[in-house]
Structure 1
Amino acid sequence: MSVVSLDSKSFGPTLGRPGILLIEWWAKWCSPCRAFGSVFEGMAERYPDITFARVEVNGQPELVEVMGVQVLPSLMVFRDGFLLLNHVGALPEPMLEDVIQQARALDMGEVRHKLAEYQASKARVRVGLHGA
């Protein structure tokens, strides 16, 4: 699969799709971005079932601000809309491969269960504070 470009209109819908999403934050003037870009593109070809996307930071300042991107290149890995990794800097191919395998192996049912438990505990704390 090829790498898709994201902008402010396509970011939300792409993030909302199920599955693994890797987003590379880059700029044309960034030498490390260009070096990491070839690794990123190679992985996109190797894993057609994963969405590989790029945000060119100079054209998307609102997304950069909202997502807190400060250093290039940056890589964000999502699964089913959950942010799993926010990595600053280029990754060598073996490390990117490992990140992908860890994202695949994650038990999303367990993640959702833990999130529900956490949200329920926060709700109980809020009720307790307001009821006192």
Structure 2
Amino acid sequence: MATIDLTGSDFEQTVTDNEIVLVDFWASWCGPCRQFAPTYTEASEKHEEIVFGKVDTEAEQQLAAAASVRSIPTVMAFKNGHLVYNEAGALPPQALDSLIDQIKELDVEKAIRESSQAE
């Protein structure tokens, strides 16, 4: 599956309706964003079972602010509607592949239970 553009009107539904969603917050003027784009697109073609969304922070300033994006590129990952990863910075291909593998294996419900028990 290729990447899809996400907006404020479809972001939440995309995150909640799909098991795994990766989101790249970017801008056209951002050099590291442009460098990361081919890596992100290649990963989207390798992992067709995952939704790879892109948010143009210039066009979607309210969404970027609501997501507390302070630096771009920022990659967020959601599993079963829960934010499980949120980091600024372009990832090299191996790191992105490793992140995807970790998210696939993550038992998010178990992690939530363990987190709530620790509080």
What is the TM-score when the length of structure 1 is the normalising length? 0.84
Runs of 4 or more off by more than 4 Å in structure 1?
none
Instruction: Provide the residue aligned with 2:98 in structure 1.
Output: 98
Higher helix share: 1
In structure 2, what is the equivalent of residue 9 of structure 1?
A: 9
Unpaired segments ≥5 residues, structure 1: 123-132
1:108 alignment counterpart: 108
What does 1:56-67 align with in structure 2 at a 5 Å threshold? 56-67=56-67
CA deviation profile, 1:73-123 (whole Å, cap 9, x unmatched): 1100110111111111100000000000000111234135336xx28x98x
Post-superposition offset of 1:34: 0.6
Q: CA RMSD in A?
A: 1.6
SS of the residue corresponding to residue 12 of structure 1 reads helix
Quick check: 1:40 aligned with 2:72?
A: no
Contact 2:18 2:51 in 1 (8 A): no
Is 1:71 matched with 2:71? yes
SS state at 1:113 partner = helix
Greater C-alpha radius of gyration: 1
Q: Structure 2-normalised TM-score?
A: 0.93
Task: Give 3-state SS (helix, strand or coil) of 2:90's partner.
Answer: coil
Partner AA of 1:25 in structure 2: F
Query: Which sections of structure 2, spanning at least 5 residues, go unmatched?
Result: none
Kindly provide the CA deviation profile for residues 14-36 of structure 1, in whole angstroms up to 9, marking residues without a partner as x.
01113111000000111110110
What is the aligned length? 119
State the alpha-carbon separation in 2 of the partners of residues 37 and 18 from structure 1. 22
Describe the SS at the equivalent of 2:114: helix
- Residue 53 of structure 1 and its aligned partner are, at CA, apart by 0.4
Q: Which residue of 1 aligns with 2:28?
A: 28
Say which structure, 1 or 2, has more relative contact order (CA 8 Å, 6+ apart): 2
Give per-residue Cα distances to partners, 1:37-81, cap 9 Å, x unaligned: 000000000000000000000011111111100111110011011
